[in-house]
Amino acid sequence: MPRVTVLVTCYNHLRFLPEALGSVFAQTYSDYELLAVDDGSTDGTREYLERQGETLRTMFNPTNLGTYGSLNAGIAAAKGDWIAILNDDDVWAPTKLERQIALADSHPEYALIHTSGHFIDDEGERLEGAPLGFPFPNLPSGPHLEPLVQRNQVIVSSVLVRKSAILEAGGFDPSFFGYGDWHLWLRLARQHPFGFVNESLTLYRVHDGQASRDNRKMEEESLKIRDWITGWETEEIDRDSYAAFAWNWRCIGASREMFGDMAGARAAYARSFRTNPTPQAIARWAGTFFARPRYGRTS
């Protein structure tokens, strides 16, 4: 049995798929199986995968399950103890799996190991800075809950995650559009420390077809997750920083502002101040009397 299942999620990115698969075949670590899950692509992806023969296993969803439903289907079929996820538009450096498995062997307490990396454009050229509004995450090994409460800081194509830990956490929530990975990382981080390989081993492609480009949907999901966090913050706040949960309440306030719920925003900013008194919370509370919503109210 392979130790690692490389799970490639595919949906209408045929122009990038050969490079993604090529980066798997170029890995210096060889104890893996390659499983590609196509979620109803219409651009020739299925036909391309079928032509690869025995170099990979393939699954074809009869109906469109979405990103996280496809991941769950792949995880259920995976033979490896570890799952390495690769989106079909991203790329790995050749030593990615080798470095991650070495860290897993030396630190069996880690349920998830991710890597540093950089952004690339359509042509594979490196992009500097924060083209999606955030820099490539670099969190040192150890407890990850506090920084993950602040924001998603684990790139999905960078992870090597223990299959048993995913199953114990209940897998990905398929109802999410773009933040289902963040939701799972938070659940894992409540129970386990994460490892980090501080090498640029994951290349995250930025292009117009990404789900993360739908700003309204992403904001709605961010608010959903942040509201969920408030349901268990009192269980964690003694051992984690008050600042992280106060930040969460400020983010809830900002989202409610965007959707025109100014009373709800003021309540969130007030809760942030009570959790960890800061001038930022007071300033944001006062600003709601002059703010204009970016979106209409949520349903």
State the pLDDT at residue 259: 93
**Tens of pLDDT along 18-76?**
999 999 999 999 999 999 999 999 999 999 999 999 999 999 987 788 999 999 999 99
pTM listed for this prediction: 0.93
At how many degrees (to 10) do helices 262-275 and 279-287 cross?
170
Residue 60 CA to residue 145 CA, distance in Å, equals 35
Residue 128 CA to residue 220 CA, distance in Å, equals 28
| In contact, 121 and 127? CB cutoff 8 Å | yes
Residue 248 CA to residue 172 CA, distance in Å, equals 22
State the pLDDT at residue 239: 56
Q: How far is CA 250 from the centre of its chain?
A: 21
State the pLDDT at residue 299: 41
Residue 72 CA to residue 181 CA, distance in Å, equals 11
Per-residue pLDDT of the chain (299 residues; tens, 9 = 90+): 999 999 999 999 999 999 999 999 999 999 999 999 999 999 999 999 999 999 999 999 877 889 999 999 999 999 999 999 999 999 999 999 999 999 999 999 999 999 999 999 999 899 998 888 889 999 999 999 999 999 999 999 999 999 999 999 999 999 999 999 999 999 999 999 999 999 999 999 998 765 555 788 999 999 999 999 999 988 877 655 788 999 999 999 999 999 999 999 999 999 999 999 999 999 999 999 988 888 865 44
